[in-house]
């Protein structure tokens, strides 16, 4: 099974050119691909932890801000850069350029899209800005969103509002959200006759809430509301199926939960919506290299393809299950501590690898500093005196035990 998957991945990545042995993934993950299927979770995820450059005694709980790349991916990026430097033009628009272009196929398959609807970007913010700058709204038209969105999504919406006279309405989401019905009701009751765009995070950056997009698309589609998803916190920790979600656009980053090279991302634009995406960036097509994109960093984009292959080999569902298992373990232990309130949902179907809390008396930045002194890295949540914990597949229960003990003392 793994061998067949690997063959398919390699075919997709290298199908446009003769297979180049130095980029065969086997050379970068010796033995591990065959063995992954038969390994138990603890063995596999320990192996993955050991492929990271994070020192053994550092507990890294901030993948939501930036994920660590496996050393083999870094080696691949480095090797690709060196190959490029040996014959820059010939490689950039030859062998390596074709491999970079083939990465779009891998990315498309990973999110269940067609290659023609995938644009390789530098990050989520860029993808959302491309979409925002294409919106054509009338003064008084409403863009509906929540009061828990990331600045990377809001900056584009603010731009549209300022330039076209559109109004941004921010609905407040319950913290914690209790059920899909509650969320759908909140969205439904905030839509008005003037709502033209709805932007929501697939996984919320503050609480980790997994937005029930399929149910929301059933509301927006008949009304002709453009549905935009900010997937920055989703890709690489929960399976993403853009078609099933019913979104018009989906933007995300490769450098967070996917653990890919920094400054990589993707933008999906649904076939019906694509004609409306008319920024200069996409004007001459969606190819990785086009007149409007200019020269790209082939090495990092090939690294993005490789990290996607790696996730496919591990299995999206297996990664998702592991993130949830570790998060639940963290949630249960946090719930026993005094002096904090968990603001992430409890229900599995609304949850992923993120768990966040606000503090009653202690100050979030002081807590984060005290933990950093012990080499435990967490994220502060500005504005709500909270902290966010990212539990990825490489996070162990022992990491969580040590974190909880340090947090309890710090509070
Ligand atoms: C929900 C969300 N959107 C957008 C971003 C911005 O991501 P990037 O810097 O990769 O564009 C983040 C970063 O944390 C995020 O959490």
CATH of the domain at 337: 3.90.1150.10
Our mutation pick for probing the ligand 1 site, out of 130, 150, 155, 381, counting the most ligand atoms within 8 A of Cβ, is: 150
Find tokens 């050379």 and name the residue.
Answer: 27
- Total structural domains within the chain: 1
> 3-class DSSP state for residue 353?
coil
- Please tell me the distance between residue 163's alpha carbon and the centre of ligand 1 in angstroms: 23
| 7 within some domain | no
| 332 within some domain | yes
Task: Per-residue pLDDT tens, the chain, 411 aa: give them.
Answer: 444 454 344 434 433 333 332 344 554 454 456 677 788 999 999 999 999 999 999 999 999 999 999 999 999 999 999 999 999 999 999 999 999 999 999 999 999 999 999 999 999 999 999 999 999 999 999 999 999 999 999 999 999 999 999 999 999 999 999 999 999 999 999 999 999 999 999 999 999 999 999 999 999 999 999 999 999 999 999 999 999 999 999 999 999 999 999 999 999 999 999 999 888 888 888 899 998 899 999 999 999 999 999 999 899 999 999 999 999 999 999 999 999 999 999 999 999 999 999 999 999 999 999 999 999 999 999 999 999 999 999 999 999 999 999 999 999
Our mutation pick for probing the ligand 1 site, out of 67, 234, 253, 353, counting the most ligand atoms within 8 A of Cβ, is: 253
Query: Does 125 contact ligand 1 (Cβ within 6 A)?
Result: yes
Complete DSSP assignment for 354-411 = EEEEEESSS-HHHHHHHHHHTTEE-EEETTTTEEEEE--TT--HHHHHHHHHHHHHH-
Q: In terms of residue numbers, what domain contains 356? A: 317-410
| 370 within some domain | yes
| 296 within some domain | no
| 348 within some domain | yes
| 330 within some domain | yes
Report angle CA 191, 197, 200 to the nearest 5 degrees: 85
- Please tell me the distance between residue 165's alpha carbon and the centre of ligand 1 in angstroms: 25
| 368 within some domain | yes
Q: What are phi and psi of 252, to 5 degrees?
A: -155, 175
pLDDT of residue 132: 96
Query: Taking phi first (over 0 means left), then psi (-120 to 50 degrees means alpha), and beta for anything else, what does residue 117 get?
Result: alpha
Q: Specify the pTM.
A: 0.93
| 367 within some domain | yes
């Amino acid at each position: 099974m793994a061998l067949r998957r690997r063959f398919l991945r390699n075919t997709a990545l290298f199908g446009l050119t003769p297979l180049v042995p130095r980029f065969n993934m086997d050379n970068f993950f010796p033995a591990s691909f065959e063995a992954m299927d038969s390994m138990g979770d603890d063995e596999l995820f320990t192996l993955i932890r050991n492929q990271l450059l994070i020192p053994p005694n550092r507990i890294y709980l901030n993948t939501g801000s930036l994920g660590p790349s496996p050393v083999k991916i870094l080696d691949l990026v480095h090797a690709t850069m060196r190959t490029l430097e040996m014959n820059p033009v010939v490689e950039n628009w030859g062998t390596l350029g074709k491999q970079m272009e083939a990465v779009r196929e891998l990315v498309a398959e990973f999110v269940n899209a067609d290659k023609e609807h995938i644009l390789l970007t530098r990050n989520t913010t860029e993808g959302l800005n491309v979409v925002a700058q294409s919106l054509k709204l009338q003064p008084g038209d409403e863009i509906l969103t929540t009061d828990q969105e990331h600045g990377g999504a809001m900056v584009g919406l603010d731009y549209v509002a300022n330039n076209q006279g559109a109004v941004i309405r921010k609905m407040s989401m319950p913290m914690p959200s209790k059920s899909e019905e509650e969320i759908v009701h909140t969205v439904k009751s905030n839509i008005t006759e003037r709502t033209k765009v709805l932007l929501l995070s697939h996984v919320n950056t503050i609480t980790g809430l997994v937005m029930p997009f399929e149910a929301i698309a059933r509301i927006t589609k008949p009304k002709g509301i453009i549905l935009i998803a900010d997937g920055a916190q989703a890709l690489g920790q929960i399976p993403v199926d853009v078609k099933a979600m019913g979104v018009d656009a989906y933007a995300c980053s490769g450098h967070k939960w996917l653990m890919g090279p920094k400054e990589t991302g993707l933008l999906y634009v649904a076939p019906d919506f694509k004609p409306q995406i008319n920024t200069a960036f996409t004007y001459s097509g969606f190819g990785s290299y086009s007149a409007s994109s200019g020269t790209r960093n082939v090495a990092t984009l090939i690294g993005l393809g490789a990290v996607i292959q790696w996730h496919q080999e591990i299995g999206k569902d297996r990664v998702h299950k592991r993130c949830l298992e570790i998060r639940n373990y963290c949630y249960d232990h946090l719930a026993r501590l005094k002096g904090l309130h968990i603001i992430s949902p409890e229900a599995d179907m609304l949850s992923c690898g993120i768990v966040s809390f606000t503090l009653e008396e202690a100050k979030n930045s002081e807590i984060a500093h005290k933990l950093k002194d012990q080499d435990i890295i967490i994220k502060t949540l500005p504005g709500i005196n909270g902290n966010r914990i990212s539990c990825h597949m490489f996070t162990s229960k022992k990491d969580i035990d040590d974190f909880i003990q340090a947090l309890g003392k710090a509070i």
